[in-house]
Structure 1
Amino acid sequence: MLTGPPPMGERLKPWRSLLLWLALALLLRWGVLEPRWIPSGSMLPTLQLQDRILVEKVRPRLGQPLPLQSIVVFHAPPALVEAGYDPRAALIKRVVGRAGDRLEVRDGQLWRNGSPVAEPWLAERIDYRFGPVTVPAGHLMVLGDNRNASFDSHLWGPLPEGDVIGTAVLRYWPLNRLGPIRFSTPGGLDPAEQLG
């Protein structure tokens, strides 16, 4: 017995599913999570060259304060754009100061508001002097974990908070380093977790 073509609804079912998944992927990419890769050694040893990470984009869009020590991805700030950087370029660094914080690098160490900052993720002492500077309202100070080889706020100044794309939350490649990115040591654990 011959049958006619399937009803229109049946023919569109596979396409509806595909379109739904595509819409979900785009929503995640544009609004919640964004994949990125690490193109330089400025965040060594925490993030290695060619690591693949996911960036959470909700907190900055809601205007929530970014925690100190969080690792942020951001658009090139005005000082870098003026120096020739592509304004769409994305960079990655660690938040070391927020509005009102007084920062200084001396004696090979970062100081915040007169106290030394414990930074167990650094592989070596800092070999430059910086500051003291006070972070202006609406700005952050960001430094690479590879302090002596990072082009960061100690050279180009404070980062406008509006330039932040999001915070690094997960390394998904390479698989042997798969896991959450916390405000962490190179091993990936929060200092508090290492104590307990």
Structure 2
Amino acid sequence: MSRYFRNPAVRWSVGVLSWIPVGIFVVRHVVGLTKVTGASMQPVFNPNLHKNPLQKDVLLLDRLSIRMGQLKRGDIVTLWSPQQPEKLMVKRVIALEGDTVYPLPPAPPRPVQVPAGHCWVEGDSTFRTIDSNTYGPVPLGLLDGRVVCIVLPFDRFGMVPNGVGKSAGRVLRQGEAYRIS
């Protein structure tokens, strides 16, 4: 048996094959890549989708921070659709558990408190998105990863800006008193 492992090709093959489980673990639980196919996060992602529908942004994901519970308002995340479980979406976290959200149409115009273990997500392009305004708060278990940067196309390579943007004034954070200004 020891003669068998003296063969350099066998040693190399065993070495390479032993790293496959490590690679699978890293891709499933630590980092990943995903392609943005729609317009719901314009202008942050796929800003030229109408000019060049074949050119789509490819994103680097940090899956570990989601699993460690390091989610913040303004983070852009990938999540499995509550309506179509096989579909992966990209949305911005607007509110966390305990926050109160004043939703946009098509939701009824009454405040919604985000329950424990949930978050409220929205697309940046208000009229091209199906998000929590349609299906309500999302269970944290549906989140897949936090978007770190755009890796393709190369001319758009860079970190992704975080921020709550259009939700300002519509989210009452847990523990804040309502103020009329």
Same fold by TM (over 0.5)?
Answer: yes
What percent of counterpart residues are identical? Answer: 27
**Map of 1:172 onto structure 2:** 151
Deviations 1:103-143 (A, max 9, x none): 1257xxxxxxxxxxxxxxxxxxx999844221111111100
Does structure 2 retain, via aligned residues, the 8 Å contact 1:75–1:165? yes
1:19, distance to aligned residue in structure 2 (A): 2.2
What secondary structure is seen at the aligned counterpart in 2 of 1:94?
strand
**Map of 1:22 onto structure 2:** 20
What secondary structure is seen at the aligned counterpart in 1 of 2:145?
strand
1:8 aligns with 2:16: no
1:65, distance to aligned residue in structure 2 (A): 3.9
**Map of 1:52 onto structure 2:** 58
User: Counterparts of 1:38 and 1:100 in 2: how far apart (Å)?
Assistant: 30
Q: How does 1:1-196 map to 2 (within 5 A)?
A: 8-9=5-6, 10-48=8-46, 49=49, 50-62=56-68, 64-77=69-82, 80=83, 85=84, 87-105=85-103, 130-183=109-162
Does structure 2 retain, via aligned residues, the 8 Å contact 1:104–1:129? no
1:8, distance to aligned residue in structure 2 (A): 3.1
User: Counterparts of 2:60 and 2:127 in 1: how far apart (Å)?
Assistant: 26
Does structure 1 retain, via aligned residues, the 8 Å contact 2:106–2:134? no
Output the TM-score relative to the length of structure 2.
Answer: 0.74
User: Counterparts of 1:56 and 1:99 in 2: how far apart (Å)?
Assistant: 21
Deviation beyond 3 Å, 4+ runs, structure 1: 20-24, 126-131
Unmatched segments (≥5 aa) in structure 1: 1-5, 107-125, 186-196
User: Counterparts of 2:58 and 2:140 in 1: how far apart (Å)?
Assistant: 24
Relative to structure 1, is the Cα distance of residues 130 and 42 closer, same or farther in structure 2, using a 3 angstrom cutoff? farther
Unmatched segments (≥5 aa) in structure 2: 50-55, 165-181
User: Counterparts of 1:8 and 1:27 in 2: how far apart (Å)?
Assistant: 27
1:173, distance to aligned residue in structure 2 (A): 0.3
Relative to structure 1, is the Cα distance of residues 27 and 127 closer, same or farther in structure 2, using a 3 angstrom cutoff? closer
Output the TM-score relative to the length of structure 1.
Answer: 0.69
